[in-house]
């Protein structure tokens, strides 16, 4: 009986798929939201007529962390993702392409302003983190 129980349990463990979590960089709900936060931050730092909605941004970050934890990620996994130099480099390259595609001249603050004001006007996620002075 013990051998049969062991065999049945072993077979059921082999038959059930393991649910490995993908890296947070592959979770679009988290990665895209963090990317938008970074874009809003770059706009507000480079445009003199746009500020951040700081309380909204803080709440936004907390909600992202909660969402990741609710998906089963530990705080250590979240911190490893947000502190990773590889991920920061990847997001910087993605941001450079984003700005290029939207005609932003990174040496011209008015370019950032034009994009930021468009995002605010569209009420996009990026725009929701910004406000015109």
Query: Is 13 within a domain?
Result: no
Q: CA–CA separation, 62 vs 56, rounded Å?
A: 10
Query: Is 120 within a domain?
Result: yes
- Polymer length of the chain: 133
Query: Is 124 within a domain?
Result: yes
* 48 in Cβ contact with 109 (< 8 Å): yes
pLDDT tens digits, one per residue of 95-118:
999 999 999 999 999 999 999 999
Query: Is 15 within a domain?
Result: no
Q: CA–CA separation, 63 vs 10, rounded Å?
A: 39
Q: 32: domain range? A: 22-132
pLDDT tens digits, one per residue of 40-80:
999 999 999 999 999 999 999 999 999 999 999 999 999 99
Query: Is 83 within a domain?
Result: yes
Number of domains within the chain: 1
């Amino acid at each position: 009986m013990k051998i049969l129980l062991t065999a049945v349990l072993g077979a059921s463990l082999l038959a059930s798929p393991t649910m490995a979590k993908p890296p947070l960089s592959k979770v679009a709900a988290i990665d895209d939201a963090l990317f938008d936060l970074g874009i809003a931050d770059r706009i507000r730092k480079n445009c003199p007529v746009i500020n951040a909605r700081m309380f909204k941004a803080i709440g936004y970050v907390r909600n992202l962390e909660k969402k990741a934890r609710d998906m089963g990620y530990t705080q250590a996994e979240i911190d490893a993702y947000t502190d990773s130099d590889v991920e920061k480099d990847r997001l910087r390259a993605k941001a450079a392409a984003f700005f290029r595609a939207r005609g932003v001249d990174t040496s011209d603050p008015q370019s950032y302003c034009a994009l930021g004001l468009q995002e605010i006007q569209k009420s996009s996620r990026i725009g929701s983190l910004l406000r015109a002075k």
